[in-house]
Amino acid sequence: MSFDQFYIEQYQDRWASLREALLRSERQIARVNQFQNSMFISQEHYDCPAYSGTAFFDVPAGAPTRDELSGLLQYYVMDPASLEVACALSVESHHDVLDMCAAPGGKTLILAEALKGGTGHLIANEVSEARRDRLMKVIQQYVDRETRDRIRVSGKDGGIFAKSHPEAFDRILIDAPCSGERHLLQSPKDLKAWSPQRSAKLAQRQYALLTAGLICLKSLGRLVYSTCALSKLENDQVIEKLFQKKEGFKVVEIPLVKAAERTKYGQMLMPDNSGYGPLYWCVIEKV
């Protein structure tokens, strides 16, 4: 089965518009770093009711500059959909948090900001050494010393946390490795190597990370599972499998984000409708 046929079977006539949207440049935002002190004036802010900070569409040209007082970089450029996913975790300053697949670090920074001035801790985990190095650099460039002292960067396989940290975290983010169709379509080499089995294997890996996360979660804790995949095997079907095989959790239905689409278990920002993503997320609570 070809790449296009695989997605036509899932999205029918809509696949043409989705494919076209994936080939366009992503619309991004500049999210103001809450650990620095500079003020920003912008004509077009990104509205995220769950976010207490500022993000704007007028992304400055060139690299972010450092705030003179704090020495930290002033803003972080990211997909608006990633901001929504991190906010869905509802981190409070006293929480112990695990970001299981943390690189490149945009969501990690939002979680770290939520811990500002509190007593909570954050483990930012990334199994890839190269991506982990980038993650550590981002944390050093954006996070103040006091909060940084409560962040630990690790490089474990995500499943190991189930053995080493059972019922240890109030909040867990699993932004799982996924098909990433936007990248595939823009990389002829990777697209040529694609096969339908790739998505199925990724779904197996995602399920393993999700079950590990459920073990690591404290009672009444919250977990957000997300992917940037359009393949339904990697989104609602992973949650469906969790319902079939595990118990002791429930899906939390949160308010629908502007321009998002409701799925069976979560919601999704689709590039043809919103201009962002794709990004799927589902909120789970341990009961």
18-27, 189-198, 219-228: range with highest mean pLDDT: 219-228
pLDDT digits (tens, 9 = 90+) for 137-193: 999 999 999 999 999 999 999 889 999 999 999 999 999 999 999 999 999 999 999
Cross-strand bridge partners of residue 174 = 225
Judge whether residue 22 has pLDDT over 80.
yes
Judge whether residue 123 has pLDDT over 80.
yes
- The pLDDT confidence band at residue 124, using thresholds 50, 70 and 90, is very high
Sign (positive or negative) of CA dihedral 273, 28, 20, 187: negative
Share of the chain above pLDDT 90, in %: 93
List helix spans (H) across the chain: 3-11, 15-23, 80-87, 106-114, 129-142, 145-148, 161-164, 181-185, 188-193, 196-216, 236-245, 271-274
Mean of the pLDDT values across residues 24-46?
90
Q: Which two tokens stand for residue 31?
A: 């999210």
- The pLDDT confidence band at residue 257, using thresholds 50, 70 and 90, is very high
- The pLDDT confidence band at residue 58, using thresholds 50, 70 and 90, is confident
Res 60: pLDDT: 87
Judge whether residue 43 has pLDDT over 80.
no
Res 39: pLDDT: 85
Instruction: Report the distance separating Cα 193 and Cα 198, nearest Å.
Output: 9
Go through the domains of the chain in sequence order and give each one's CATH number: 80-286 (3.40.50.150)
Sign (positive or negative) of CA dihedral 217, 134, 84, 239: negative
Res 42: pLDDT: 79
Res 150: pLDDT: 98
Mean of the pLDDT values across residues 26-32?
93
Res 1: pLDDT: 87
- The pLDDT confidence band at residue 224, using thresholds 50, 70 and 90, is very high
Instruction: Report the distance separating Cα 193 and Cα 202, nearest Å.
Output: 15
Residue 86, classified by CB atoms within 10 Å of its CB into exposed (0-12), middle (13-18) or buried (19+), is: buried
Mean of the pLDDT values across residues 212-228?
98
228 has catalytic annotation: yes
pTM higher than 0.75: yes
In whole numbers, what is the pLDDT of the chain averaged over residues? 96
Res 41: pLDDT: 79
Q: From the candidates 101, 178, 228, 282, which is the catalytic residue? A: 228
